[in-house]
Amino acid sequence: MSSGKPEKTHGVSTRTAVLAGVGVVGILLSAAFAGTTLISSLQMNAALRKCGRAFVGPTHSPFLWYSPGAADTIKRLGGRDAARRRLAGYLRLPDRLATRKSDAVFVLGYCGPGVVDEILRMKNSSYPAVRSEVAFVLGRLGSRSPEVLSALEQLGRDKDENVHLMAKASIDHLQDPMTNFLEETGVTWGASEPAP
């Protein structure tokens, strides 16, 4: 007996019941995603809070120094590859959830040269501490790509004095003959090992 009208079950049409079911499933999935994201961001905030900024190095340049705090954080996050993935995801979260983005940029800079694109994404952060860290890490990574040099020039014109000064120091570092020599001879070390 199909009259062209939706069937009613206990006073509710089948269509309404299906839409309500889909809505409930959508709400549950959203809550699960939000809970997972919130828990993940809280875990990352805690891990990054423990990251110290102490440096160890045999040279005059902090760009070439080793950071035991970054190395420990990378280990806590599961090694370089896992840390790179987790930190990149953390940096994409809203600022209200990811409250330690400058620390994340700092540690990400010790995850190897493949992080430049993630670091460059943060150069327009609304927070001067993050932009300053971007400038430092770009200098530390040693890349002289046009994208990096352009970002450093942009940061060198930043209205915040710390950002401006860090960008200038990074540019000077990249132009330093010793930096060029170390890069050409392969004399570098990563966050997982202290300087020789």
Question: Considering only 61-70, 97-106, 177-186, which range has the smallest mean pLDDT?
Answer: 177-186
pLDDT of 138 higher than 70: yes
Q: Which amino acid does the sequence have at 51?
A: C
In this prediction, residue 55 has a pLDDT band, given cuts at 50, 70 and 90, of low
Question: Considering only 76-85, 141-150, 157-166, 180-189, which range has the smallest mean pLDDT?
Answer: 180-189
CB of 156 within 8 A of CB of 164?
A: yes
Given this model, what pLDDT does residue 117 score? Answer: 94
For range 167-186, the mean pLDDT = 74
What mean pLDDT, rounded, does the chain reach?
78
pTM, entire model: 0.70
Domains in the chain: ranges and CATH: 12-185 (1.25.10)
Rounded Cα–Cα distance for residues 79 and 175 (Å): 31
The rounded percent of the chain whose pLDDT value lies above 70 is 64
Specify the higher pLDDT residue, 75 or 12. 75
Specify the higher pLDDT residue, 165 or 183. 165
Tell me the per-residue pLDDT of 118-133, one tens digit each, with 9 for 90 and over.
999 999 999 999 999 9
> How far lies 24's CA from each of 6, 9, 11, 33, 146, in Å?
21, 19, 19, 14, 50
Structure tokens belonging to residue 184: 């050409």
Given this model, what pLDDT does residue 64 score? Answer: 62
In this prediction, residue 146 has a pLDDT band, given cuts at 50, 70 and 90, of very high
Tell me the per-residue pLDDT of 23-34, one tens digit each, with 9 for 90 and over.
666 665 554 444
